[in-house]
Amino acid sequence: MDLIHKFLNLVAPWFTFFSLCLFLPPFYLFKFFLATLGSFFSENVSGKVVIITGASSGIGEHLAYEYGRRGARLALTARREKSLQEVADRAHDLGSPDVITIRADVSNVDDCQRLVEETVNHFGRLDHLVNNAGITSVCMFEGAPPDMTNFRAVMDTNFWGSVYTTRFAVPHLRNSKGKIVVLSSANSWLPEPRTSVYNASKAALAAFFDTLRIELGQDVTITIVTPGHIESEITRDKHLSKEGKMEVEQDMRDVQVSAIPVASVSECAQAIVNSACRGDRSLTQPSWYSATCLWKLFFPEVIEWGCRLFYLTSPGVPHQEAPSKKILDLTAGEKKVLYPSTIQSPEIKTD
């Protein structure tokens, strides 16, 4: 057995190298052809039924508007009922013929079952499931309390919330040859400090739905979305504190986001719906974030060194002194260019 592994250790890297050189160009040419073909035969979602979780704000809110403009019938779910109803009213005004709201917490498995059942009972079918609901935590690992259970909510919402909802939706999506859209993150490969639990939850999402794609085969199409910095409550730094409470801290937002440009949420939502309708496997938005994945793959030490230098301070030095914050302070006049107006003020709901 050891001889077999020694042989594979020697042969596998060279076989992979020559295979990539031989097959990669025609493979990507074929993918480009399929993508071009898909743009001409994109799905028309008019009259289709779409569930969107986390629809009361951010990307989920604007996905509701984008699907609404295209005439889809919507089931919107979130915990904040008043905000959810406001989104539903606007989506209806933009063109959705029928919008229902379902107050639910996706970290609760019973709520996930109920939201799928209420949707199917009302509309009679389900065509798209958009797993968007998510929260983040911002805390150095060693700065967290020894009892890490305060951060369980991040995994419960981001990962298990998508898994629970998908489990109840899959039989209906099989019947309609439907689609699943899952919001992972570029942080699933970028090791940004202070967000280790959030990063892990998003990496888990990508791994789970890559596997599920194989299990479901051609019956259900899965699009994994990996956004970078998009205008939302997260980029305004609404996060779970180490005490387990939702809070907003603009200084921490400036440290974590720094002078990295924040993309428009409406453009992101449009790109996501276009990608789902084409049946794409994945989408990174803005697309330039894809380059960071290549850097992580080929130069992981450079990425790790850069993140350590950019985001961290010496022990005992407050996070406000991080180079990322100082860089933003030096370009304070450019904040209006780098940040959309909706995230320049920290005044958002923390309930």
Structure tokens at 3: 């001889």
Whether the upstream peptide bond of residue 286 has omega within 30° of 0, thus cis, is: yes
Residue with the two structure tokens 């209806």: 92
> CB pairs under 8 A, 24+ apart, for 282-289?
282/223, 282/224, 282/225, 282/226, 283/223, 283/224, 283/225, 283/226, 284/186, 284/225, 284/226, 284/227, 284/228, 285/225, 285/226, 285/227, 285/228, 285/230, 286/228, 288/228, 289/186, 289/226, 289/227, 289/228
SS3 78: strand
Residue 248, strand partner residues: 238
Asked if 65 is an active-site residue, the reply is: no
Q: What is the CA radius of gyration of the chain?
A: 21
For residue 209, give every residue at least 6 positions away whose Cβ sits within 8 Å of its Cβ, in sequence order, or none. Answer: 162, 180, 182, 184, 222, 224
SS3 281: coil
Give Cα separations from 23 to 6, 27, 54 (angstroms). Answer: 26, 6, 41
116: closest CA among 181, 54, 53? 53
Cα distance between residue 308 and residue 306, in whole Å: 5
Cα distance between residue 110 and residue 97, in whole Å: 28
Order of strands across the sheet that contains 282-285: 99-103, 73-78, 49-53, 128-131, 179-183, 221-227, 282-285
Of residues 65, 198, 289, 311, which has the active-site annotation?
A: 198
Give Cα separations from 327 to 213, 332, 342 (angstroms). Answer: 42, 9, 21
Contact 223, 279 (CB under 8 A): yes
Positions annotated as catalytic residues are 198
